[in-house]
Amino acid sequence: MTNHGTAPYTEGQLAEFIGEGTRALALIASRLGFERMGYWSDKRSEEMQKVLLAALAPNGDVSESKTHAPKLPHYADGVVFEMTLDGDASENQPLEMVRKDGYTGAWKHNGSKVKGRQTRRFKWVAVGYQSNLEAVCAALAPHGKIPKGQWREAVKQMFEPDREHPRGIADPSWRYPYGGAYFPCVGFGGDSRFHWADYARGENWRWLVGVSK
């Protein structure tokens, strides 16, 4: 019996499939012409996915389970990259982030939220030792705009832990039940958490900032 998408695949099989697919897309791009290629390049990845699935699995016998792209190594400090986040998804809501991290109690979120599905440009910045999050924010100001803390979920989904740097978003919009402001971060081992804004941060921290076009 053929197993349609339910059997685990190896990293080698995935790499081989991606390699063949990349070569096929390169050949297609050379034959499409500028106008058609421009159409498909205009943020139509979901539409392209449907077309390719219809061609590769015309009987519709594909797995309905959600799959995630392989995670990437973190970009070096200062390198600009893009991330996408669905701010309306239930798993990306500010208080759901608290719950998923294992915290209990009457937490509050006092900041604004990411609305809808957004793609934004970011970079990682190192600002050295800082006495608290307010000092971090001041040091980050020349580098870009501090994003909303929900973007931590995109960081978790996109990147492998680097085993070296805790990575924070300097958005202190979360409030612990017994007082104090907290911001979201991802530990160097990949575990997510919230840290107290009044605590000092060491030189190994990296901070996410938004970059305008």
User: Where is the domain boundary, 35, 67, 99?
Assistant: 67
Q: Are residues 87 and 189 in the same domain?
A: yes
* Residue 163 in domain: yes
Is residue 90 within 8 A of residue 96, CB to CB? The reply is yes
Tell me which residue range forms the domain holding 54.
1-67
pLDDT, residue 8, reads 52
68 close to 84: Cβ distance less than 8 angstroms:
no
Q: What is the dihedral of CA 73, 75, 77, 80, to 10 degrees?
A: -160
Specify the residue for token string 């530990």. 187
pLDDT for 19 equals 73
Q: How many CB atoms lie within 10 A of CB 97?
A: 22
The verdict on 44 and 121 lying in the same domain is no
User: How many distinct structural domains can be found in the chain?
Assistant: 2
Is residue 176 a contact partner of residue 105, using CB atoms and an 8 Å limit?
yes
Same domain, 92 and 128: yes
Long-range contacts of 169-172 (CB under 8 A, 24+ apart): 169/207, 169/208, 170/133, 170/136, 170/137, 170/140, 170/146, 170/207, 171/111, 171/146, 171/147, 172/133, 172/197
Kindly state the tokens that stand for 205.
Answer: 């921290």
Of the pLDDT bands very low, low, confident and very high (cuts 50, 70, 90), residue 15 is low
Of the candidates 29, 44, 67, which is a domain's last residue? 67
Confidence (pLDDT) at 9 = 57
Burial of 62-73, coded b for 16+ CB within 10 Å and e otherwise, reads: eeeeeeeeeeee
Residue 76 lies in a domain: no
Residue 186, token pair as written in the block: 């991802």
Does the pLDDT of residue 157 top 70, yes or no? yes
Average pLDDT of the segment spanning 181-205: 95
Residue 146 predicted with pLDDT over 50: yes
Task: Please give the C-alpha separations between residue 68 and each of 65, 140, 159, in angstroms, as whole numbers.
Answer: 10, 31, 12
Q: How far apart are CA 161 and CA 166, in angstroms?
A: 9
Whether 86 and 49 share a structural domain: no
Element (H, E) at 81: strand 81-86
The phi, psi pair for 122, rounded to 5°, reads: -140, 170
In this predicted model, what pLDDT tens digit does every residue of 114-139 receive, in sequence order? 999 999 999 999 999 999 999 999 99
Report if residue 170 sits inside a domain: yes
Closest CA relative to residue 184, chosen from 153, 144, 141: 153
- Per-residue model confidence as pLDDT tens digits over 73-110: 999 999 999 999 999 999 999 999 999 999 999 999 99
